[in-house]
Chain A
Amino acid sequence: MSTAAAPASSVPAGARSGWWEAVQPAARDPILGVTEAFLADSDPKKVNVGVGAYRNDEGKPVVLECVRKAEQIIAGKQNMEYLPMGGLVKFNDLSVKLAYGDTAPVLEEKRVAAVQTLSGTGACRLFADFQKRFKPDSRIYIPVPTWANHHNIWRDARVEAHTFRYYKPSTRGLDFEGLMEDLKKAPEGSFVLLHACAHNPTGVDPTADQWKEMSQLFKSNRLFPFFDMAYQGFASGDTVRDAQAIRIFMEDGHQLACAQSFAKNMGLYGQRVGCLSVVCDNSQQAVNVKSQLQQIARPMYSNPPLHGAQIVTTVLSDPELKEQWYKEVKVMADRIIGMREALKSNLEKLGSSLPWKHITEQIGMFCYSGLTEDQVDRLTKEFHIYMTRNGRISMAGVTTGNVEYLANAIHEVTK
C-alpha cells in the first residue's frame, strides 16, 4: 500500500529505523589529511612536507618529460576496451624485468605470476587477500614504524598482524639486533613485509650485508619475504641499486613476492599504476597463482585502468624514452639528496646542539626527523609547516626557497 510521496528528508513509513546509528565520522587519514589541512591554510609562508609526492625546486608537482612524450605517442588511441583482469600483459612483463632484472632466471623460466594493480596499495591489498585465502592461518610481520596504510591493508584482509622492531630512535638508524631477534621468534610459514629501499617513513635501509643475513634467517626459519618496492630508482637514482635487496634474496633462491609502484619513480601518482608479482615453483604454479590473483581482483574492480599502464609500457619499451626516464629519476633523487645536505648544514649553522647526521644518512623521500608530536604541532601552528605527526618530513617538499625557513623553525621548536 503506497503512501503519499514523502519529502526527501524524512524517513519513509515502515523503513527500518537506525540503519546508520553505528556510522561515526571517520578520523582523518593521517597522511592525506595533512595535505587537506595544508590546502586550507592561507598563510603565504606555508610549507608542505607532508605527503610523499615529489616537488621540483619551485615547489611544483612535476610531470616527467618522458611521460609527456609517451602521452603524445598514445594520444588518440582508438582503444578503450577492458583490459584483462590481470592487466596489460606487456606492462607486467616490463615491470617484472625492472624489478628482477631483464635476464633473471625466474623470468626466463616463466615462474613469476604478475598482475597489474592499483599502484602499490592495490598490489599489497591483492597479496594480503591472497595470503588470507590460501594461507588463512599465517601471520604478517610488519616493521615498526611503517607506512600507516600497511596496517589498514592487512587488517581489512583479516590477516593476523604482528610487528618487528626496525627503527632505533637513539641512533635514528636501523635496530638490526632487534629486527633479527623479533623475526627469529616468528613461526615458520610467516610472511614478512620488507621495504625494498627508502623505507617509509624512516628512510633507514639495511646494508647489503644486513640484507644477506636476513636472507639466511628467512631461509632457515621458512619466512616468506614480501617486498614493498615503491621507490625503485627514486632512492639512489639507480634502479638496479635500489632493487639490490630483492636481487640478494633471489640469489639465495627465495620465492618472494613484490609490490611495485610507478607513482613516485614515474610521477604517475594519480594514474594508479603498479604490479604485484609472486615467484613460484614452476610455470604451471605461476599460471595458477595468477589466475587466483585475478579472481580476487575481479570482485574488487574487474580489471585495472589502462592509461597509466600504457604510459609505463611506452616509456619502458622505447630505448630512448627509457634512457630519458633513467636520467629524470636521477635528477629527482639527486635534488632530494641535495636538500638533505642543505637542511643538515642549515641546522648545524644555526648552532643546533642536536644530532642531525641522520638527515643525510637516511635515503629516499622521507626523513624521520625525531621530532615529537608536540614539536610537530608547534611547527604547524606557529610556522605553518605541515608534516605527519610522527615527525616524518617529506624531503621532496623541501626547496632552496624554503630550506632555511624550515631549518629555523625546526631549530626553534627543538632548542
Chain B
Amino acid sequence: MAVAVDVSRFENVSMAPPDPILGVSEAFKADTDATKLNLGVGAYRTEDLQPYVLKVVNKAEQLMLERGENKEYLPIEGLAAFNKATAELLLGADNPVIKNGQIATVQGLSGTGSLRLGAAFIARYFPGVKVLISSPTWGNHKNILSDVGVPWSEYRYFDPQTVGLDFKGMIEDIKGAPNGSVILLHGCAHNPTGIDPTPEQWEAIADELEEKGHMPFFDVAYQGFASGSLDDDASSVRKFASRGFEMFVAQSYSKNLGLYAERIGAINVILPTADLAARVKSQLKRLARPMYSNPPVHGARIVANVVGDSVLFDEWRAEMQMMAGRIKGVRQKLYEALLSKDKSGKDWSFILKQIGMFSFTGLTKSQSDNMTDKWHVYMTKDGRISLAGLNLAKCDYLADAIIDSYYNVK
C-alpha cells in the first residue's frame, strides 16, 4: 500500500513566465476574427501563409530513406561532411582560413546550441570577459549568456528617431567597453530590427574592434535567407576573417533550409593557427559531451546531401532566392500601400532598407496593442513584425492598421 513519501521537493518551484513570442501565437489561434494576421511568427510562410518544407529537403530525405543509412552515434563534433560543408558555405571553399586549417567547426543544435557552445567556451576560457549584445537583440541571447554565467552589457543599435541604425551610439559603446571584450554581431538580417550596417559601417566597426582588441562573435542565422545570396549574406563575416580577426561564428540552417525542427547548425572558431584550432575544437567537444554527448544526425545529413549534390545545391539556391524574393516583394507592396495611404510625407522607406524576416516598425507598445486589439494584427510588443507572416493580399490591410496605430494612438 503506497504511503506518499513526505518529500515535497519542488514546493519552491514556481511557474516560469510565459514565453513572450509563444504567447502571440496562442492569442492569434484563439482569435476568431476573419481578418486576423499573425505577424509574430519567426518561421517562413508561403504566399498562402502555410509552413514550407523546401523541395530539396524532401528530395534529400527521400535519398536518405532509399539508401537506408544506419543510425549510429555521430562523433561528438558531429558529421564530418556537414562540418566541412558548413565552414565552406560560411567562408567560401577557397578561403585561406579553411585551406590552412585555421578553423574549428563543431556541429551544434542549430543557432541556439552553437551560441551556447561558444558562450560556454568563453565562460570557461575567458573568465571575466564581458560580452556586448545589441539593444535590442534576440531575447534568447541574454538567456544563453546568463545561464553560462558570462557578464554582458548592451551596445546601442536601434535608433527610434530614424527607425534605423544608431551607428554613432554603437561605435561609442563598443569603444567604451573594456579592451578585449567580445562583441556579439548579427551577420545579416538583424533580429529583431532587420537593420544591418552598410559595408562601410562594417569596416568602421571592424576598425573599432581591432583598436580595442575585441573579439567578434557573429550570429549567422539567415545566410542566404536575407538577400537570397549565400555569398552576399556572408560578406560581413568574410570581411572580418580577411582582416585577420580571431572570432566565433554561430550558424543555423533553420531558416535558409527550413530545417527548424531538426536543430542543425554549427559553432566555428577562426584562429591564428591550425594547432590552436585543434585545441579549441577538442575543448568545444568537452563542453558538448556533458550536454548531449553528440548531435542529432538527421538534419546534418540533409544539409550534407543538399550541399554535396550540385543539382540539389542549385535548387536550394533557387528556393532561397524564392523565399527572400517573396519577403522583398511584400516589403515593396507594404511600402507602396503606406505611401499611397499616408500623405503626410513620413518616410516609410525603412521598410525597404531593412532586410530579412523581421521589421522594426517603430510602433510603441500601445500602438502595437492597437494593432492587435483593433485590427487583429498579432505582433510582438516591441513593434516587431514578421514579414514571413505577411502576403501580398494583406498588405493593404496591414498598411491601414499601421497608419491608424501610428497616428491615432499615443
A interface residues, Cβ below 8 angstroms from B: 1-3, 5-17, 19-20, 22-26, 29, 32, 36, 51, 53, 61-63, 67-68, 71-72, 75-85, 118-119, 121-122, 125, 134-135, 149, 152-153, 155-157, 218-219, 222, 224, 250-255, 263, 267-272, 278, 280-281, 285, 287-289, 291-292, 294-296, 298-308
Is B364 in the interface zone, CB < 8 Å from A? no
Write out the residue numbers on chain A whose beta carbons fall within 8 Å of the beta carbon of B7. Answer: 222, 224, 254-255
User: In the complex, A17→B179 CA distance in Å?
Assistant: 11
| Residues 4-24 of B at the A interface (beta carbon under 8 Å) | 4-5, 7-16, 19, 22
Cα-based distance from A254 to B8 in the complex (angstroms): 10
- Report the minimum CB–CB distance from A271 to chain B (whole Å): 6
* B75/A36 in contact, CB under 8 A: yes
Q: In whole angstroms, what is the CA distance A127 to B214 when docked?
A: 36
| 5 residue pairs, one from A and one from B, having the closest CB atoms | A16-B180, A270-B297, A118-B292, A6-B244, A301-B109
A165 to chain B, nearest CB (A): 24
Knowing A10-B244, A81-B260, say if A270 contacts B74 (CB, 8 Å). yes
With contacts A285-B10, A292-B13, A296-B147 taken as known, whether A8 is within 8 angstroms of B296 at the C-beta atoms is no
Query: How many angstroms between the C-alpha atoms of A271 and B73 in the bound complex?
Result: 8
Question: Smallest Cβ distance from A60 to chain B, in angstroms?
Answer: 8
Interface residues of B (CB under 8 A from A): 2-5, 7-16, 19, 22, 43, 51, 53, 57-58, 61-62, 65, 68, 70-76, 95-97, 100, 102, 109-110, 112-113, 116, 125-126, 140, 143-144, 146-148, 179-180, 203, 206-207, 210-215, 241-246, 254, 258-263, 271-273, 276, 278-280, 282-283, 285-287, 289-299
Chain A: minimal CB distance from B178 (Å): 10
Do A8 and B291 touch across chains, with their CB atoms under 8 A apart?
no
**Residues from chain A with Cβ under 8 Å of B282 in the complex:** 25-26
State the CA gap A303–B295 with chains docked (Å). 13
Q: Does B71 contact A67, Cβ atoms closer than 8 Å?
A: yes
| Other-chain contact of A78, B51, B144, B283 (Cβ < 8 Å) | B51
Closest residue on chain A to residue B292 by CB atoms: A118
Q: Is the CB of B76 within 8 A of A79?
A: no
Q: Chain A contact residues: over half helix, strand or loop, or mixed? A: loop
Q: Which of A83, A85, A157 contacts B261 (CB 8 A)?
A: A83
Question: What residues on B are CB-neighbors of A121 within 8 Å?
Answer: 289-293
Question: What's the nearest-Cβ distance from chain B to residue A88, in Å?
Answer: 10
Contacts of A295 in B (CB 8 A): 16
User: Are the CB atoms of B2 and A149 closer together than 8 Å?
Assistant: no
Residues of A within 8 A of B53 (CB): 77-80
**Complex-state Cα separation, A299 to B138, whole angstroms:** 12
Partner of A122, one of B13, B102, B291, B297: B291
Complex alpha-carbon distance, A28 and B258, angstroms:
35
The reply to whether B206 and A272 contact each other, CB–CB distance below 8 Å, is no
Contacts of B140 in A (CB 8 A): 298-299, 302
Q: Which residue of A lies closest to B206 (CB)?
A: A2
Whole-angstrom CA separation of A78 from B260 in the bound complex: 12
Q: Provide the residues of chain A in CB contact with B143, threshold 8 Å.
A: 298-299
Q: Which residue of A9, A14, A75, A298 is within 8 Å of B273 (Cβ)?
A: A9
- Residues in chain A near residue B243, CB distance under 8 A: 5-6, 12
Residue from B72, B126, B210 within 8 A of A61 (CB atoms): B72
Residues of chain B contacted by A63 (CB below 8 angstroms)? 68, 70-71
Judge whether A11 and B71 touch: CB under 8 Å: no
B206 CB to closest chain A CB, in angstroms?
A: 7
Nearest Cβ on chain A to B181's Cβ, whole angstroms: 9
Q: Given the known inter-chain contacts A13-B210, A32-B75, A119-B293, please indicate yes or no for A26 contacting B261, CB distance below 8 A.
A: no
Whether the pair A118, B10 counts as a contact (CB closer than 8 A) is no
A251→B1 CA distance, assembly (Å): 7
Contacting residues, chain B, for A271 (C-beta < 8 A):
71, 296-298
How far apart are A263's CB and chain B's nearest CB, in angstroms? 8
Contact A152 B290 (CB under 8 A): yes
Q: Decide: A272 and B213 in contact? CB cutoff 8 A.
A: no
In-complex Cβ contact of B276 among A20, A76, A84, A296 (8 A): A20
Nearest Cβ in chain A — how far from B314, in angstroms?
21
Within the assembled complex, what's the spacing in Å between the Cα atoms of A10 and B210? Answer: 13
Q: Told that A11-B246, A16-B213, A305-B109 touch, could you supply 4 new A-B pairs with CB distance under 8 A?
A: A2-B203, A81-B51, A119-B292, A301-B116
Q: Is the CB of A272 within 8 A of B290?
A: no
Cα distance A13–B315 in the bound complex, in angstroms = 43
Q: Using known A-B contacts A67-B71, A271-B71, A301-B113, determine if residue A79 contacts B261 with beta carbons closer than 8 Å.
A: yes
Contact A305 B298 (CB under 8 A): yes
User: How distant is the Cα of A307 from the Cα of B296 in the complex, in angstroms?
Assistant: 9
Q: Check if A134 sits within 8 Å of B10, measured CB to CB.
A: yes
> Interface centre among A9, A78, A285, A303, by most B CB within 10 Å?
A9
User: Which residue on B lies nearest to A284, using beta carbons?
Assistant: B15
With A224-B7, A267-B71, A285-B10 already in contact, the answer to whether A301 and B280 are too (CB < 8 A) is no
Instruction: Out of A79, A300, A306, name the residue touching B147 (CB < 8 Å).
Output: A300
Report Cα–Cα, A400/B107, bound state, in Å.
Answer: 37
Known: A16-B213, A219-B5. A2 touches B207 (CB 8 A): yes
A1 to B208, CA, bound (A): 8
